[in-house]
Amino acid sequence: MANLINLSVVALFLLGMAGMGVYFLKRNNSSEEYFLGGRKIPGWALGLSMVGTSISSITFLALPAAAFVLDYRQLTPNLFMPVAALIACWIFIPFFRRGLKTTAYEYLESRYGTGIRIYAALYSLLGQLLRLAIILYLVVLPLSEMLDISESTAILAFGVITCFYTVFGGIEAVVWTDVVQTVILLGGGLLCVAAVAFQLPGGLPQILEIGMEYDKFSLGPLDFSFSERTFWVMSLIGFIGFISEFSSNQNVVQRYIAAPTLREARKATLICIVMSLPTWIFFFFIGSCLFAYYKVFPSAEVAAMKPDDVLPHFILTEIWPGVGGVIIAACLAAAMSSLSSSINAVSTIWTIDFLRLMRRKGNDRFELVNAKLASGAAGIIMIAGAWGISLIPRESVYDLSAILGALLCSAGLTPFMLGFFTTRIGNRAILSGMYAALVFSVYNILNYFKLLPEPLQWNIHIYMAGPVCNGVMLAVALAYSLFRPEPVTEQLRGLTVWTLDSPGKAD
């Protein structure tokens, strides 16, 4: 009976999301509507959508798992999000809103040329597809247990459902379902904490007491070492990661551009700041709650589980029928907001940065059809990738996502930063840096899998690969520029902070 009630709640949620996709289907008559919603979506809705996209099922399941098995050191990178977002409000958003841009990588072509645009767009596609697979896998954990079906079957079923409204509804369906999903997500998290506190003899104070006793609130060792997950390593990763997120991630940039005005775009980003960091801290705290609960009520079954399975197990065995369904719907909401955003971003990048470049002739109907086909293809790759991840051994899915992201490091941040803040870096300099970053990526993969001779191996934590890759690209591009004349300033009008006072409106 309990399972039936939970299933009913989840089914109602999924039907509601599918219904929103059908509603927005009729509004997508052009590629502009499909990708940007006619550039008229209000800032508050875009802000909640950015929160929902940044939270994802990685937040709902993997962050509690990371806190349950270790401590809060995985939170450290997130502490730098407000700094990056404020820089975006001041500098990045005006750049992307100048002219009728649709993707972040159109700026790179204006600044350097076609080669670096294709490079950055290609690596962004790979990153988005990796993210899709990880998030989908995370969300099927509670779903497969609740339905008593295999993870593979759940991956297929939920992947197809998620693709439906994204493929047909476009960015408007993505944003407005994100708004609903964010509210449900936060409500589900609150119910989790309330369920633990209500059942523990000492309530909330007991959770804090047990957490302090076992050092579960630590942000990691303060040793200055790049070979371990120290506070400094995680801080550097966070700063670079969020600067990259707010300057070059298509999920975010697409929302800057979809806002009707510069003010609304900045409002959206400020809403994201105010809501995201407290939400991340809160979901780490859920992990602390679970740790305290199973210290007070030990379970041999939980002790033998993977960390990512603990929260789904608690939801399905220790929470009242119906309430458990709401929390599972919240988990699904977290996943759907992120999956739909990334699927739409993949479709946008493919259509604008590849298809349009190849055809060179505008045919809006052709582009709209191909955009929907690209969304469907992204869904298929997402399902296949999630199935592959289910077979890989790991500490936690959050840890696995960080490792895979580092191995595929693309130095995606550096071209934007050099583009915004320098005038001497031109096309040849940045392409030289790109080639060096690609060589380092290959070296990094060989080094991680111990395929290099011992003298050539480098003892550095895999989480640091991304920052180092960006550093390699930066150093090579700057070195090359010393031997080449600076670009003519007139060619950079409106493209750097030093030449921004030029024609071209941000609104």
Residue 230 belongs to some domain of the structure = yes
Q: What CATH number corresponds to the domain at position 422?
A: 1.20.1730.10
Residue 355 belongs to some domain of the structure = yes
Total structural domains in the chain? 1
Biggest CA pair distance of the chain: 74
Tokens standing for 235? 């801080």
CB burial of residue 460 (10 Å; 0-12, 13-18, 19+): middle
In this prediction, residues 368-376 reach a mean pLDDT of: 87
Q: Which pLDDT score is estimated for 462?
A: 66
Residue 501 belongs to some domain of the structure = no
DSSP string, 118-155: HHHHHHHHHHHHHHHHHHHHHHHHHHHHHHT--HHHHH
Residue 507 belongs to some domain of the structure = no
Residue 505 belongs to some domain of the structure = no
Query: Three-class SS string for 190-220?
Result: HHHHHHHHHHCCCHHHHHHHHHHHCCCCCCC
CA dist 184 and 307 (Å) reads 24
| pLDDT tens sequence across 296-335 | 898 888 888 878 778 888 887 888 777 777 777 777 777 7
Tokens standing for 371? 């955009």
Amino acid at 303: A
Q: Which pLDDT score is estimated for 226?
A: 59
CA dist 55 and 251 (Å) reads 13
| pLDDT tens sequence across 427-480 | 889 999 988 988 888 887 787 777 788 888 777 666 677 778 888 999 999 999
CA dist 25 and 169 (Å) reads 5
Residue 502 belongs to some domain of the structure = no
Residue 500 belongs to some domain of the structure = no
Residue 50 belongs to some domain of the structure = yes
496 falls in which pLDDT band (50, 70, 90)? confident
Give the pTM. Answer: 0.78
Tokens standing for 105? 């990588």
User: b vs e for 193-203, b when ≥16 Cβ sit within 10 Å of the residue's Cβ?
Assistant: bebbbeebeee
Alpha-carbon torsion, ordered 454, 458, 459, 460, to 10 deg: -160
Tokens standing for 27? 């509004």
| pLDDT tens sequence across 125-163 | 888 888 888 878 877 766 776 666 777 888 887 788 778
Of the two residues 206 and 363, the one the predictor is more confident about is: 206
CB 129 within 8 Å of CB 378: yes
How many degrees, rounded to 5, is the angle at CA 75 between CA 339 and CA 205? 110
Which of 53-57, 215-219, 236-240 comes out lowest in average pLDDT? 53-57
Which of 179-193, 199-213, 291-305, 484-498 comes out lowest in average pLDDT? 484-498
Average pLDDT score, the chain: 81
Q: Which pLDDT score is estimated for 503?
A: 45
Backbone angles phi, psi at 227, to 5 degrees: -100, -5
CA dist 94 and 97 (Å) reads 5
Cα–Cα nearest to 128, from 392, 464, 382: 382
Range of the domain at 166: 2-388+397-492
Whether residue 362 has pLDDT greater than 70:
no
Whether residue 193 has pLDDT greater than 70:
yes
CA dist 174 and 342 (Å) reads 10
Whether residue 483 has pLDDT greater than 80:
yes
CA dist 106 and 354 (Å) reads 11
Q: Which pLDDT score is estimated for 479?
A: 92
CA dist 89 and 263 (Å) reads 9
CA quadruple 370, 376, 379, 385: dihedral sign? negative
Q: Which pLDDT score is estimated for 452?
A: 81
What percent of the chain clears pLDDT 70, i.e. is strictly above it? 85
DSSP string, 447-461: HHTT-S-GGG-----
Give every CB contact of residue 380 below 8 A, 6+ residues apart in sequence. Answer: none
